[in-house]
């Protein structure tokens, strides 16, 4: 019960990493606000939590809209009296190079992926400070740590999330608010499954990870749980990579075969 008596908001909680995190937080004792722009799906997740004897409410939110985010935070405090954890998990992707990507798509991705983190902190931090502290977690990506091809805005937005995390932790650490980011590798969420529908694409992505598999949403939820809990009480301003060894591998592969020549194919 790492989050017993804590109140947590999870955005993008209707599916994937957000759903897994909301359900894990509830199993660890948190009162969870399941926030998503898809209200019916958010309510289904909240009901599933309640069916497991957990405590949850669903809130519809547009994370790129200031009034909507403020209303989400106020709803959490009105319902449960406090706010201990904010998991800014909602995100989106539009593929394209600088030449191909429309200006509208650039603005949309930046709003959903970056402005949402700013807005979440803007409205959550005062409540956390008033009660003595809290934990903010942001979903970044390994795409924010290197340049992926064909997704210029996604990579730029996730790099912005990482440094925004550092800046927020610097500003609000003295007030007792910890801010960290998680940088997942390729995780088996519904959008990723659609992207990996072609066997050759799936195989390439699997082999890019040292563990030779994709990650599961529950594995990112476990990292988020740790960052949300007091177990990570001296961790702030970090971008924690959870990628199955993807970034650890050299693109050169195996430089030398350790087997004797007679054993090599």
Q: What is the mean pLDDT of each run of 10 residues along the chain (265 residues)?
A: 97 97 98 98 98 98 98 98 98 95 98 98 98 98 91 96 98 98 93 85 89 95 98 98 91 71 63
- The domain made up of 7-242 is a member of CATH 2.60.40.10: no
For residues 207 and 143, what is the distance between their CA atoms, to the nearest angstrom? 17
Strand partners, 88: 138
Q: Of 65, 60, 177, give the one whose Cα is nearest residue 118.
A: 65
Instruction: Select which of 25, 87, 123, 154 is catalytic.
Output: 154
**Is the backbone of residue 146 left (phi > 0), alpha (psi -120 to 50) or beta?**
beta
Q: What is the pLDDT of residue 212?
A: 93
Strand partners, 178: 135
Q: What is the pLDDT of residue 81?
A: 97
Contact indicator for 42, 13 with CB cutoff of 8 Å: yes
For the chain, the maximum distance between any two Cα atoms, rounded to a whole number of angstroms, is 72
Give the number of residues written for the chain: 265
Whole-number Cα distances in Å, 14 to 90, 131, 184, 258: 10, 28, 18, 47
Q: What is the pLDDT of residue 261?
A: 62
Does 154 qualify as catalytic in the annotation? yes
Q: Of 162, 157, 211, 164, give the one whose Cα is nearest residue 188.
A: 211
Contact indicator for 45, 108 with CB cutoff of 8 Å: no
Where are the chain's structural domains?
Answer: 7-242
Q: What residue has token string 């990723």?
A: 192
Q: What is the pLDDT of residue 265?
A: 57
- Alpha carbon of residue 193 to chain centroid: 17
Q: What is the pLDDT of residue 264?
A: 59
Helices H / strands E in the chain, number of each: 9, 7
């Amino acid at each position: 019960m790492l989050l017993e008596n804590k109140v947590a908001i999870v955005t993008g909680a209707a599916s994937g990493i957000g759903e897994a995190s909301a359900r894990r937080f509830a199993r660890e004792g948190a009162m969870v606000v399941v926030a998503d722009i898809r209200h019916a799906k958010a309510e289904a997740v909240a009901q599933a939590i309640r069916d497991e004897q957990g405590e949850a409410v669903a809130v519809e939110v547009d994370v790129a809209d200031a009034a909507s985010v403020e209303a989400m935070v106020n709803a959490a405090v009105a319902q449960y009296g406090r706010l201990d954890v904010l998991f800014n998990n909602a995100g989106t992707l539009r593929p394209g190079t600088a030449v191909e990507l429309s200006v509208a798509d650039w603005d949309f991705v930046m709003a959903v992926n970056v402005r949402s983190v700013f807005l979440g902190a803007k409205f959550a931090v005062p409540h956390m400070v008033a009660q003595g502290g809290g934990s903010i977690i942001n979903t970044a990506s390994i795409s924010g740590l290197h340049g992926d091809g064909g997704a210029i805005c996604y990579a730029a937005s996730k790099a912005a999330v990482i440094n925004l995390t550092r800046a927020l932790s610097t500003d609000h650490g003295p007030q007792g608010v910890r801010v960290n980011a998680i940088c997942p590798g390729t995780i088996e969420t519904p959008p990723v499954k659609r992207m990996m529908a072609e066997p050759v694409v799936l195989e390439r992505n699997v082999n890019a990870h040292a563990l030779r598999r994709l990650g599961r949403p529950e594995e990112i939820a476990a990292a988020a749980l740790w960052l949300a809990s007091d177990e990570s009480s001296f961790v702030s301003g970090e971008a924690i990579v959870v990628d199955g060894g993807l970034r650890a591998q050299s693109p050169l592969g195996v430089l030398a075969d350790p087997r004797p020549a007679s054993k090599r194919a």
